[in-house]
Amino acid sequence: AQTVTQSQPEMSVQEAETVTLSCTYDTSESDYYLFWYKQPPSRQMILVIRQEAYKQQNATENRFSVNFQKAAKSFSLKISDSQLGDAAMYFCAYRISGNTPLVFGKGTRLSVIA
Amino acid sequence: DAGVIQSPRHEVTEMGQEVTLRCKPISGHDYLFWYRQTMMRGLELLIYFNNNVPIDDSGMPEDRFSAKMPNASFSTLKIQPSEPRDSAVYFCASGEGYEQYFGPGTRLTVT
């Protein structure tokens, strides 16, 4: 079975600094997708970034970027120039190709210190 | 588009009562997912549909839970009878292609 592990239950970062959230996954599939979702206190699940496993280039969305290491099955999220609005739970998620269910990690709670 | 719509946003009920959660997916999406979020188990899939047909209901905890999708624009998740351990946030998500779009969730409290 596919599993997603987030080893950092909580992280904190100073405003304007950079923070990296870790995620590892286990799968025997070769074609899959990885995601980072943000869940603020409003509990809305917001897609932050997506990575296709067949792409070697790391995905980037403005201040958010990933470090995708396929052989190591590692998928970390880097947030640059952290802002107070980045404070939230962050979930790493995986799914195989096609619109199949997401498998989530347990989440990392990120605090941003002014 | 209004996004995925869920109702109610909050539900408080007593143990033994029937609870019905509702979801309206984004128009044109042919996949619909029900997830549950708890502190202990995190986010987990309950059931998902493709073109209104249930594909995988292995995450439905027990016979007290049932889900239907009578048409492309509506789905329900029913719990009968409800128990305190069913207290959680229930998310509906719809999708096509790469993405899944989540509704705002229903926070269910069973006392």
A44 vs B contacts (CB less than 8 Å): 102, 104-105
Whole-number Å distance between alpha carbons of B84 and B111: 6
Confidence of residue A91 (pLDDT cuts 50, 70, 90): very high
Residue window 47-66, chain A: list those with CB within 8 Å of chain B. 47, 50
Residues B50-78 have pLDDT tens digits of 999 999 999 998 899 999 999 999 999 99
What is the percent of chain B where pLDDT is above 70? 99
Answer yes or no: is pLDDT of B98 > 80.
no
Answer yes or no: is pLDDT of B32 > 90.
yes
Answer yes or no: is pLDDT of A95 > 70.
yes
B109 touching A, CB under 8 A?
no
Three-class SS string for chain B? CCCCEEECCEEEECCCCCEEEEEECCCCCCEEEEEEEECCCEEEEEEEEECCEEEECCCCCCCCEEEEEEECCEEEEEECCCCHHHCEEEEEEEEECCEEEECCCEEEEEC
Whole-number Å distance between alpha carbons of B28 and B94: 9
Element (H, E) at A48: strand A46-52
Residues A14-67 have pLDDT tens digits of 999 999 999 999 999 889 999 999 999 999 999 999 999 999 899 999 999 999
Of B96 and B40, the structure prediction assigns the larger pLDDT to: B40
B42 touching A, CB under 8 A?
yes
pLDDT of residue B1: 66
Confidence of residue B2 (pLDDT cuts 50, 70, 90): confident
Answer yes or no: is pLDDT of B47 > 90.
yes
Confidence of residue B97 (pLDDT cuts 50, 70, 90): confident
pLDDT of residue A62: 95
pLDDT of residue B36: 98
B99–A42 CB contact, under 8 Å: no
A105–B42 CB contact, under 8 Å: yes
Answer yes or no: is pLDDT of A4 > 90.
yes
B33 vs A contacts (CB less than 8 Å): 101-102
